[in-house]
Structure 1
Amino acid sequence: MKDELNPPARLGRRDRTTWSPWRSVFAFGLVSLAADMVYEGMRSMSGPLLGALGASGLVVGVVTGAGEAVALILRLFTGAWADQRRLHWRLTVIGYALTAVCVPLLAVTPFLGAAGLATAAALILLERTGKAIRSPAKSALLARLATDTGRGRGFGVHKALDQIGAFSGPLLLSGIAAATGLLWPGFAVLAIPGALSLLLLARLRRRAPIAVADPPDDDAAGDGSSPRPARWGASAFGAGLPAAFHLFSVAAALMTAGLMTFGIISFHLVQDGVIAVAAVPLVYAAAMAVQAVAALATGFAFDRIGGRVLLVVPALVAVVPALAFDDRLAIVVAGIAAWAVATGVLDSTVKAFVADLVPDGRRATAYGVFAAVQGMGAIAGGALAGALAENHAAALAAIVAIVQVAAAAILLGTTQHTRTRT
């Protein structure tokens, strides 16, 4: 089978048409920026769109919740598939293409009559499937690109650019909706950044100076550095990955469980009259900007001091409930800032640490497993926060603090016994 990740022209010296590692990392960030405008814009308006098409609150919850579940659970299989078949670039392209196509097509759903709601639900689920298809493969490619730049820096810069898209996409749709009084024109406009993301990705694929390592079943060196994977099914669930990786995944799940969603925080802000409904998108956009800065700062720190920088996350998560559920605006803003920093690190610098914990040829598999374990933490944390946030905020804060102590203990043990991989 032809190896799409190791074309002969890239195995030797770098020619003049090959981009530098930093230029490639920046280009990958621009791809994510454009794509984030598309899918974060969609996520910010998917509820109102479904409601306008006749969906009840239950239907909106089921569709959006199922979409997030698909985006996480399918990564277990797409990550292993990318490693086993060397399909990192191909799956990355397919995943981004699904986002670029499905989201703008939501613009036609108001004109489909009775079929509009079902079509919109299907398109939303397909877009989330695209996220699941590309994410593990994309992260493995980025980890390899960032080998020469410093993985913390590489993931930090990528995340910062990514967050610019996450910031601007919802604002773009909000502005178009305010100007036109309609939802569908905003989705149609998202075809432009969607097409741009695919054009940038195509150019990056031709010019990237990297080749992901051979799959770990080709252990020609015999030194055990890339252990043979278990059968495909077991491999998808992380069989054969280092114990330190699994411990770190548990720590990340505990941190994620304590980090409630912005939806719960914003519900409190509005219900308690802390801010007006119209200001919620602005607060969210500001939080996205904080995430970008946090990803950059912790990424650079990671390359200097290693995984120990991640110990800041449990401390931040532990204080979020106490701050975010206060009724004083200044304290709430501090809580949202802490939430944003922790969220930014959990979606950027932790990926650099995962790359240090596992062999190159198993990284897409590892990212798939990691996302699934984090997803279980998110589900548990969402249920906990949903049950306690409204009437038992003090109990929620205490439970979250206890969980973060456990996360910090596991994380400390993991970071102290880890050596950097290339």
Structure 2
Amino acid sequence: MSPRPAPGADRAAALSPWRFIVVFGVVSLLMDVVYEGARSITGPLLASLGASAAVVGIVTGAGEAAALGLRLVSGPLADRTRRFWALTIAGYALTAVSVPLLGLAGVLWAACVLVVAERVGKAVRSPAKDTLLSHATATTGRGRGFAVHEALDQIGAFVGPLTVAGVLAATAGDYAPALGVLAVPGVVAMALLLWLRARVPAPADYEPAGGEPVGGEDAVPREPDAAVPALPRTFLVYAAFTAVTMTGFATFGVLSFHLVQRHLLPADLVPVVYAGAMVADAVSALANGWLYDRVGPRALAVLPVLSAAVPVLAFTRSLTLAVVGSLLWGAAVGIQESTLRAVVADLVPSRRRATAYGIFAGVLGVAALAGGALTGALYDQSVTLLVVVVASIQAAALVLLAVLRGRTAPR
């Protein structure tokens, strides 16, 4: 797919589409240092305050549910108000404040609230942020544009956990300075985000008029400016597929709980494993984004396969296999955070895109809560049962993907 011209970019944007994507990626890189650094030790931190595996699964699942489910509100709000930049900035600010405070939490309930609050920040910003990015990726290729952004994202996701690991090792496991140091990249990210907002106040001008979705019998034709286009049926099938595959996906909180409680790793080395998973995330995002731009939804078939393989390896008593399972978990997250978002932009017209991202994420939020609770509870009961249930769920996801492919035009 060759880049298309951006007819309005010279009038409203001071940066090219690729430069916009890269600078936004640097903002995400810095913020990933903040919140991925915190997420890398959420399981051990909650366990240190008395949490069981089930509690860790429920809290981390609830966090993901908040990050996704609340987009049912923030997505339509962004489309209705068109205040994409304001919502993006507010969401990043909430995350930047919540993470350092998490290190100061001395009781389990307070830590749980802050874990969820950090994810609420993601809910506030994500539909608006993804819509801003979708305009620029219209000229660069959806898969590649979102994949490059995700790859930059994951540099921060690599640096953050290693930073936390280093501070934990230097302070004999003190979570307060380990998370407190993450305030610095948060401040820098906010400053850069405000600069980007000033340079590119109207990213919609990157996208050719209409923001039409890509092929298929349910694709929505370009509507007059006064009309509000309906969401295509293919989008609803797609949301069902992603909801099912996420229901059978374990959170890293449960994975890290296993590593520490089974004495495979000390808590201060768990962030190192998480950092490795984020490298796998970046590589997977780039590879799958490139593949998606060439073969379409078929590229998503790898996601249920990876998700089914994670518990088979990650919940063993072998450190090597557990680490490999964690890397596969990261590879699956890379596809979730890049290609899954790109497909939404290809299925839904521009004027409903933030709403679609909100609905899409809301469905996934319910699935994330169910998945976190399910995998945590099954882990407490039987790892074998956990493996069988997850494999069955992912098989169902593959069936829905086949239905989706039948409803979209081949590339």
Which among 100, 103, 108 is matched to residue 99 of structure 2? Answer: 103
Tell me the SS of whatever aligns to 1:79.
Answer: helix
Listed one character per residue, the Cα deviations across residues 37-65 of structure 1 (whole Å, up to 9, x for unaligned) are 1122233455676788xx55389857666
**SS of corresponding position for 2:366:** helix
Distance 1:273 1:48, change over 3 A: closer
Q: Which residue of 27, 40, 50 maps to 2:23?
A: 27
**Per-residue displacement from partner, 1:75-111 (whole Å, max 9, x unpaired)?**
100000001111111111111122223434556767x
CA–CA distance in structure 2, aligned partners of residues 404 and 227 of structure 1: 41
1:106-185 matched pairs, under 5 angstroms? 124-181=115-172, 182-185=174-177
DSSP-derived class of the 1:19 partner: coil
Amino acid across the alignment from 2:204:
A
SS at match of 1:146: helix
Gaps of 5+ in 1: 1-9, 111-115, 217-221, 231-239
Say if 1:164 and 1:289, in contact at 8 Å, map to a contact too.
Answer: yes
Q: Which moved more, 1:352-361 or 1:325-334?
A: 325-334
Mind listing any 5+ residue stretches in structure 2 that lack a counterpart?
A: 1-5, 212-220
Judge conservation of contact 1:226–1:359 (CA < 8 Å) in 2. Answer: no
Distance 1:155 1:103 in 2: 25
What residue number does 1:57 align with? 51
> Which of the two has higher C-alpha Rg?
1
Q: CA RMSD in A?
A: 3.5
Spell out, residue by residue over 1:136-165, the C-alpha distance to the aligned partner (whole angstroms, 9 max, x if none). Answer: 110111111111111111111111111111
Aligned-residue sequence identity (percent) comes to 48
Q: Does 1:211 align with 2:207?
A: no
Residue 405 of structure 2 is matched in structure 1 by: 415
Judging changes above 3 Å, is the alpha-carbon distance between structure 1 residues 273 and 155 closer, same or farther for their aligned structure 2 residues?
A: same
Q: What amino acid maps onto 1:261 in structure 2?
A: T
The alpha-carbon distance between structure 1 residues 174 and 227, as it changes in their structure 2 partners (threshold 3 A), is farther
2:90 matches 1:94: yes
Q: Distance in 2 between matches of 1:399 and 1:42?
A: 29
Which residues of 2 match residues 22-421 of structure 1 at below 5 A? Answer: 22-45=18-41, 56-57=50-51, 66-105=62-101, 124-181=115-172, 182-208=174-200, 210-211=203-204, 224=223, 228-229=227-228, 240-418=230-408
Deviations, residues 344-398 of structure 1 (Å, cap 9, x unaligned) = 1012111001111111111111111111211222222233323333553333323
Q: 1: distance between equivalents of 2:402 and 2:224?
A: 24
Distance 1:225 1:389, change over 3 A: farther
2:159 is aligned with what amino acid?
Answer: S
Q: Distance in 1 between matches of 2:313 and 2:110?
A: 41
8 A Cα contact 1:31 1:201, kept in partner: yes
SS at match of 2:376: helix
1:325/1:356 Cα in 2 relative to 1: closer, same or farther (>3 Å)?
Answer: same
The question of whether the paired residues in 1 share the 8 Å contact of 2:285 and 2:335 is answered with yes
CA positional deviation for 1:301 = 1.2
Mapped to 1, the partners of 2:284 and 2:406 lie a distance apart of 23
- The two structures have a TM-score, normalised by structure 1, of 0.81
- SS of aligned partner of 1:241: coil
The higher-RCO structure (CA 8 Å, 6+ apart) is 2
Query: How has the CA–CA distance of structure 1 residues 204 and 419 changed in structure 2, closer, same or farther, with 3 Å as cutoff?
Result: farther
- Corresponding residue pairs, total: 392
**CA distance in 1 between partners of 2:392 and 2:147 (Å):** 29
